[in-house]
Chains A and B, each alone.
Chain A
Amino acid sequence: MIELTEPRAHHDCQVLVIGSGAGGATTAATLAEAGIDVLIVEEGGWVEQDSVVPFSLEQMDLQYRSGGVTVALGRPSIAYTEGCCAGGGTEVNSGLYRRPSKATLERWRKNYAIDDFDDDEFYAACDEVEQALSVQTVPGRQTPASELLRRGAAALGWRHDEIPRWMTYPNGNDAAAGRRQSMTRTYLPRAVRAGARLLCEHRVDRLIIDRQRAFRAELTGPAGEPVTIDFGDVIVCAGAIHTPALLQRSGFRGLVGKALAMHPTVKLAARFNEAINVVNDVPVHQVKEFAPELSFGGSASHPGLVALALTDNWAEMRDAVTAWPNIAVYYAAITSQGRGRVTSLPGLRDPLVTYRLTRRDRDLLGQGLARLALVMLEAGAREVYPSFKGAPTVRSRSDLAQLTAGFSANAASVMTVHLCSTVPMGSDRSKAAADSFGRLFGADNVHVNDASLLPDAPGVNPQASVMAVALRNARHFIEEHS
Chain B
Amino acid sequence: MNTQRSMPEATVITGAAGWLGTALTHALVQSGGEWERSGTIRTLVRNRIEADRLAGHSPRIEPIVGDLLDPESLGRLFAGLAGNIDVLHTAGVIHPTKVNDFFTINRDGTKAIAAEAAKHGARRFVHVSSNSPFGTNSHPNDRFRNDEPYHPYYGYGDSKMQAELAVFEAVEAGLDAVLVRPPWFYGPHQPPRQTTFFKMVRMGRFPVFAGGHQSRSMVYVDNLVQGLVRAELTHTKPGLGWWIADERPYTISEIVETVGRALADEGFEVSPNRIRIPDMAARAAEFADKMIQRTGRYHQQIHVLGEMNKNIACDISVAQRDLGYQPQVDLYEGMRRSIRWCIDQGLEL
Q: Which residues of A contact B133 (CB under 8 A)?
A: 401
Q: A157-B318, A404-B150, A405-B151 are in contact. Are A367 and B142 (CB under 8 A)?
A: yes
Q: Which residues of A contact B318 (CB under 8 A)?
A: 157
Q: Which residues of B contact A363 (CB under 8 A)?
A: 138-139
What is the bound-complex CA distance between A158 and B149, given in angstroms? 14
Q: Does B72 contact A (CB under 8 A)?
A: no
What is the bound-complex CA distance between A367 and B138, given in angstroms? 7
A158 adjacent to B145 (CB under 8 Å): yes
How many residues of B sit at the interface, in one of the four size bands?
A: 10 to 19
What is the bound-complex CA distance between A158 and B152, given in angstroms? 22
Q: Does A290 contact B (CB under 8 A)?
A: yes
A289 adjacent to B149 (CB under 8 Å): no
What is the bound-complex CA distance between A331 and B152, given in angstroms? 23
Query: What mask results when residues 282 to 295 of chain A are scored 1 for a CB within 8 Å of chain B, else 0?
Result: 00000001100100
User: Which residues 331-389 of A have a CB within 8 angstroms of B?
Assistant: 360, 363-364, 366-367, 370-371, 373-374, 378
Q: Does B135 contact A (CB under 8 A)?
A: yes
For the complex formed, measure the closest distance between the CB of B318 and the CB atoms of chain A, giving whole angstroms.
7
What is the bound-complex CA distance between A371 and B143, given in angstroms? 12
B142 adjacent to A290 (CB under 8 Å): yes
A404 adjacent to B135 (CB under 8 Å): yes
Q: Does A132 contact B (CB under 8 A)?
A: no
Q: Does A397 contact B (CB under 8 A)?
A: yes
Smallest Cβ-Cβ distance to B321: which chain A residue: A157
Q: A401-B161, A404-B135 are in contact. Are A370 and B149 (CB under 8 A)?
A: yes
A371 adjacent to B139 (CB under 8 Å): no
Q: Does B141 contact A (CB under 8 A)?
A: yes
B137 adjacent to A400 (CB under 8 Å): no
For the complex formed, measure the closest distance between the CB of A38 and the CB atoms of chain B, giving whole angstroms.
45
Smallest Cβ-Cβ distance to A402: which chain B residue: B150
B149 adjacent to A374 (CB under 8 Å): yes
Q: Does A398 contact B (CB under 8 A)?
A: yes
For the complex formed, measure the closest distance between the CB of B120 and the CB atoms of chain A, giving whole angstroms.
27
Q: Which residues of A contact B152 (CB under 8 A)?
A: 401, 405
For the complex formed, measure the closest distance between the CB of A137 and the CB atoms of chain B, giving whole angstroms.
26
Q: Which residues of A contact B158 (CB under 8 A)?
A: 401
Q: Does A192 contact B (CB under 8 A)?
A: no
For the complex formed, measure the closest distance between the CB of B301 and the CB atoms of chain A, giving whole angstroms.
24
Contact of B149 among A157, A293, A360, A404 (CB under 8 A): A404
Q: Which residues of A contact B141 (CB under 8 A)?
A: 293
Q: Does A156 contact B (CB under 8 A)?
A: yes
Q: Which residues of A contact B161 (CB under 8 A)?
A: 398, 401
What is the bound-complex CA distance between A158 and B147, given in angstroms? 10
What is the bound-complex CA distance between A366 and B139, given in angstroms? 12
B151 adjacent to A374 (CB under 8 Å): no
Q: Which residues of A contact B138 (CB under 8 A)?
A: 293, 360, 363-364, 366-367
A360 adjacent to B139 (CB under 8 Å): yes
Q: Which residues of A contact B34 (CB under 8 A)?
A: none
For the complex formed, measure the closest distance between the CB of B175 and the CB atoms of chain A, giving whole angstroms.
18
B165 adjacent to A398 (CB under 8 Å): yes
Q: Does B148 contact A (CB under 8 A)?
A: yes
Smallest Cβ-Cβ distance to A156: which chain B residue: B147
For the complex formed, measure the closest distance between the CB of A227 and the CB atoms of chain B, giving whole angstroms.
50
What is the bound-complex CA distance between A388 and B70, given in angstroms? 44
A293 adjacent to B135 (CB under 8 Å): no
Q: Which residues of B contact A374 (CB under 8 A)?
A: 147-149
Smallest Cβ-Cβ distance to A407: which chain B residue: B151
For the complex formed, measure the closest distance between the CB of B77 and the CB atoms of chain A, giving whole angstroms.
29
Closest 10 CB pairs of A and B: A404-B151, A363-B138, A370-B149, A400-B149, A401-B150, A364-B138, A367-B138, A374-B149, A156-B147, A400-B150
15 contacts between A and B (CB under 8 A): A156-B147, A293-B139, A360-B139, A364-B139, A371-B149, A373-B149, A374-B149, A378-B147, A397-B150, A401-B152, A403-B149, A404-B135, A404-B149, A404-B150, A404-B151
**Which A residues contact B (CB, under 8 angstroms)?**
156-158, 289-290, 293, 360, 363-364, 366-367, 370-371, 373-374, 378, 397-398, 400-401, 403-405
